[in-house]
Chains A and B, each alone.
Chain A
Amino acid sequence: MQIAVASGKGGTGKTIVSTSLAMCAPGRVQYLDCDVEEPNGHIFLKPDLATSERCTVIIPQILEEKCTYCGKCRDICRFNAITLFANTIMTFPEMCHSCLGCFRVCPDDAIVRSEREIGMLESGMAGDISFVHGRMRVGEAMAVPLLKAVKKKADKNVLVIIDAPPGTSCPFVEAISDADYVILVTEPTPFGLHDLKLAAVVLRNFSKPCGVIINRADLGDARVEQWCQQENIPVLLKIPFDRKIAEGYARGQCLVEIRPDLRPSLQALIEEILA
């Protein structure tokens, strides 16, 4: 079972919700931080990151001594990662999507596998929670390959909580693609509502069941709740604005540590989703 916590708009409280769900979950649980551009789950769960591995993607390396400059590799590459001028061939590794097309069309065996580091995959235990996150290398543009590597660590035998990246484009889609249920965390503001609608469109295209948590529920207006009602999307929980939560969050405390009184409602929420 996978529950993804996503939002559309950034900074609505995905991480504070997902880390707290992991802490409240019954039985064994795994937390995957899929926001590889800006992973924050470790700040709250404080895992012992015992394992660390480099995450790489395959890129072509052209052996000039074998290359006959036929241009077939350049022609198949749709990402402009290979250019050819007369007798000079150049690759642009940062443009490469690792489709392996160039390897397959080269008639001269002039392309060998090289690799490009896209980030680190780190994992360990945070108490009883099995923790995994990816840290994308600064300067790297593509988040999806590392995000896929984080998701490959998902344990099929336990409850998996996924902390998704903000937005509604490819990293968000990849993060929620295997989820059985998606919790959308939003705030009751025009920005929150606008981005919630966009995220909900994606979930509808995937026929993913979802529910909404409204964070800082008293700072804004009623339009998010009205919209949820109109769209038949359940509002699972409303978390009021509370300086104590903001201060605890700032220090890296989990919601259930700051406000233990919220634990029963979070537990009930998970049980309802699992049922």
Chain B
Amino acid sequence: MKEIVILSGKGGTGKTSLVGSLAYLAENKILVDCDVDAADLHLLLDPKPRSSHEFRSGVKAKVISDQCSGCGICVDLCQFEAITMDFAGPTALMNPLSCEGCGVCAHFCPEQAIVLEENYCGDWFISDTDYGPLVHAQLFAGEENSGKLVSLIKRQARELAEQTGLDLILIDGAPGIGCPVIASLASVDTVLAVTEPSQSGWHDLERVLDLALHFRLQSFVCINKWDLHPEMAASIEIACVERGIEVLGRIPFDPTVIECQIQGIPVVCNEQSPAAGAIREIWQALSSRQVNKE
């Protein structure tokens, strides 16, 4: 089984549009949307939900006001500035969005006035699409634990792939280089990084390539909207080659990509689109260069 993750560092370079198209081109695969706090892949693939599951992770502390003596011990203990004192009570007030669920306040409360409640922080789904199964999720707005949710849906996808004899896991990653991105890299074989020809695009790409290197993963690059700044695209290519990273292709700026997004279909479905042609070539190149896992 192979696992390919599409990353970018910088947001908005075209990860999801590309994954949508690769979903159309690749055979015998399962899709995973690991951008769990702003998941968009389902907007291109029209998934039919097969099953829906609650994601519960960690705990949140809750103050039982009647039992609180207002001693303020918890306020001093909390390292996340999640507890303030309402002197009118006096009673401790918990800000659930700042609470990281460490439980230290509950442990030390002399009145046992703080309880820890399991945190329901999102939903995840197994769906069917015209292009194969999709495992996706929605972390509730403002929640943490995105890395754990990413690990969970990746594990589900792998199990499903093994049960049904699929040999490729195609993963849409999150922007950035933090917790959800690191979680999406576990057991991956290949990183395909999508960038754009701008200083920001290159700056952020370098950090993603450093991250892939940190985890000893093989990386490839493709440059989206390259013709918006051909010189910058050329210098990114040179810089990649200097790092020993192959640039698999360039995708031209193409308003068809947005038109297809509005229609809710992958851009490769449109035969006339210049971007579609480039994406087909990138997929061909990527397929021929993948290493087999031992």
Contacts and interface: CB of A to CB of B under 8 A. Distances in A.
Q: Does A associate with B in a complex? A: yes
B142 A99 contact: no
Given A37-B176, A43-B203, A138 B182 contact: no
Interface string B248-263: 0000000100100110
B188 interface: no
B200 A8 contact: no
A167 interface: yes
A66 interface: no
Contact of B102 (A101, A142, A198, A219): A101
A9 interface: yes
B104 A8 contact: no
B38 interface: yes
Contacts of B132: none
Nearest to A15: B200
A259 B154 CA distance: 44
Interface in A167-181: 167-173, 177
Interface stretch (A48-56, A82-90, A107-115, A186-194): A186-194
A173 B261 contact: no
Contacts of A172: 37, 142
A195 interface: yes
Interface string B209-243: 01100100000000001001100100000000000
A195 B97 CA distance: 20
B267 to A, nearest CB: 13
Interface string A128-140: 0000000010111
Interface of A: 7-12, 15, 35, 37-38, 40, 43, 76, 78-79, 97-101, 104-105, 136, 138-143, 165-173, 177, 187, 189-191, 194-195, 198-199, 201-202, 205, 219-221, 243, 246-247, 249-252
19 contacts: A8-B38, A9-B11, A37-B207, A78-B103, A79-B102, A141-B178, A167-B146, A168-B139, A168-B141, A169-B139, A170-B143, A189-B258, A190-B261, A190-B264, A194-B40, A198-B38, A251-B198, A252-B198, A252-B200
Interface of B: 9-13, 16, 35-38, 40, 43, 58-59, 77, 79-80, 97, 100-104, 107-108, 139, 141-144, 146-147, 174-183, 196-201, 203-204, 207, 210-211, 214, 225, 228-229, 232, 255, 258, 261-262, 264
